[in-house]
Amino acid sequence: MTGTLLEAKAVAKHFGGVKALRDVSLTIRRGEIYGLIGPNGAGKTTFFNCMTGLYVPDGGGFSFDGKPLVADAPDKAAARGIARTFQNIRLFGNMTALENVMVGRHVRTRAGVLGAIFQNPATKAEEAAIRQRAIDLLHYVRIEERADDLAKNLSYGDQRRLEIARALASEPKLLCLDEPAAGMNGTETEQLRELIDGIRRDGTTILLIEHDVKLVMGLCDRVAVLDYGALVIEDVPAVVQKDQRVIEAYLGA
């Protein structure tokens, strides 16, 4: 299970005259937690959106799991095994927590309209499996008792967890978390740290975009730093922490 899972090659993206990403190249290895940090506006989320197909890059490209990743549509990225959460939580508010996770199984299941209408055995079995897997995932992120609540009625921390469960439902090879600790207090962040660590231990590679430098340094195997859309450094946390350019970028010197 070692080797490269995702490789970004000279990815560039600009909006009008603003260069949001300048030839960013980086490599995520299987089984690691990879941190992507940088000051506000450094291009972290843009990188994320290029990778997951929300934006089409203007230059460069990605390869994922040994094959080129043609990221022109988010649903294709998801089908390839890239799942994500959003910086500003995007749940399906008027669906229950359980249903949110069940939708997450979409790419790994097949039932169509006819199956739904005629309720053939295969569809019924699949539906039961979807439900069971979703219940298991709610247990996994420890919000099983909120299964029947509408997602919009969950607390902030639980919404974050639900979003992670929904992403995990698609059996991703790479789970991308966009600032999962944003807005969380110390206890919640600690619980989140444990959850992320657990997910990695269970075999899923994680890309973590985060503002909370302490969380990133404590959790990640390797860290990349972006500043003004360019990659500053990619290395283990101990090295990154001491890098003069990183300190400058964060202090704005």
Which listed residue (9, 31, 41, 109) binds other proteins by CB under 8 A?
109
Footprint of other proteins on residues 118-177 (CB under 8 A)? 119, 123-124, 126-128, 130-132, 135, 147-150, 153, 166-167, 169-170
Smallest separation, CB 37 to other proteins (Å): 18
Smallest separation, CB 169 to other proteins (Å): 8
| Buried/exposed code over 191-208 (b: 16+ C-beta within 10 A; e: otherwise) | bbbebbeebbeeebbbbb
Structure tokens that stand for 153 in this block: 């009625």
Nearer to other proteins, 167 or 240 (CB): 167
Distances (CA, A) of 185 to 142, 156, 162, 167: 18, 11, 18, 23
Nearer to other proteins, 86 or 228 (CB): 86
Smallest separation, CB 203 to other proteins (Å): 20
Which listed residue (1, 113, 238, 251) binds other proteins by CB under 8 A?
113
- Binding-site residue total for other proteins (CB under 8 A)? 58
x/- mask, other proteins, residues 5-34, rule CB under 8 A, reads ------------------------------
Q: For tokens 């300048």, name the residue.
A: 22
Question: Which DSSP string corresponds to 106-160?
Answer: GGG----HHHHHHT-HHHHHHHHHHHHHHHHHHHHTT-GGGTTSBGGGS-HHHHH
Report whether 10 contacts 36 (CB < 8 A).
no
Chain centroid offset of residue 83 CA = 5
Which listed residue (10, 18, 56, 73) binds other proteins by CB under 8 A?
73
Smallest separation, CB 161 to other proteins (Å): 16
Beta pairing, strands 59-64 & 67-69: antiparallel
Contacts 24+ apart (CB under 8 A), 199-203: 199/164, 199/168, 199/175, 200/31, 200/32, 200/33, 203/1, 203/31
Nearer to other proteins, 204 or 234 (CB): 204
What pairs with residue 222 in β-bridges?
34
Smallest separation, CB 45 to other proteins (Å): 6
Nearer to other proteins, 41 or 237 (CB): 41
Footprint of other proteins on residues 179-238 (CB under 8 A)? none
Q: Enumerate residues 6+ apart whose C-beta is below 8 A from 85.
A: 160, 163, 164, 167, 176, 177, 178, 180
Nearer to other proteins, 59 or 93 (CB): 93
Residue ranges in contact with other proteins by CB under 8 A: 45, 48-49, 52-54, 73-75, 78-79, 83-84, 86-87, 90-96, 98-99, 102-107, 109-113, 115-117, 119, 123-124, 126-128, 130-132, 135, 147-150, 153, 166-167, 169-170, 178
